[in-house]
Amino acid sequence: MTSETRFDAPLLEQQLMQEDALLRGHFRLSSGLHSDTYVQCARFLRRPELAAPAMAELAQRIREAGLQPDVIVGPAMGGVVVSYELGRQLGVPAIFTERDDTGQMTLRRGFTLQPGERIIIAEDVVTTGKSTKEVARILEGLGGKILGVASLIDRTGGKAELSFPTFALLPVTAATHAPDDCPLCRAGIPVVKPGSRPEKAFS
């Protein structure tokens, strides 16, 4: 079966929107910037019957690329569920990085890497690529070899400029604006800070 017949990107986008995991409007992001798009993949990933087929597609794309990871690593928190399900689909262990008391991303909880272990970094959404690059540097510093990054959504629209192969099920082009130069504000559209929407969207 070809990738075209196996995977339906419009259906995935519809599912994300139905689960309020992909929202369109006027949002204040944690960076302080304003955007017309907000992504909260946890709303989608909480549904195993939706998450499993999506991760199966990612796993198949990784296999088709000829990549054979030894371990999947997901940055906490968003990458934890993705890494677990992707690891299950590929039949390899899944671990995660998290920030220590100094704010540095690292492996904790007894997780370790062996020198030369081949790694797929698993993300729920790649927003700028900055955090993915940070995780890659940490893992390479521990002796790992990065094969690629797999994500549910690429919010950069394919412009993350990562130095290794990327696998994303849905590219999402999102406009961002400085608060003092935001056309949505000028249009009088109320800005919403994620977490302040009604329970339906963010509980």
**Known binding site for 5-phospho-alpha-D-ribose 1-diphosphate: residues?**
99, 123-131
Residues at the binding site for orotate are 127, 155
Phi, psi angles (nearest 5°) of residue 60: -65, -40
Please give the Cα distance from 58 to 108 (Å, whole number).
26
Name the residue type at position 70: D
143 neighbors 114 (Cβ within 8 angstroms): yes
Angle between helices 78-90 and 48-64 (to 10 degrees): 60
Cβ count near 106 (within 10 Å): 15
For residue 122, the cross-strand partners are 150
Residues at the binding site are 99, 123-131, 155
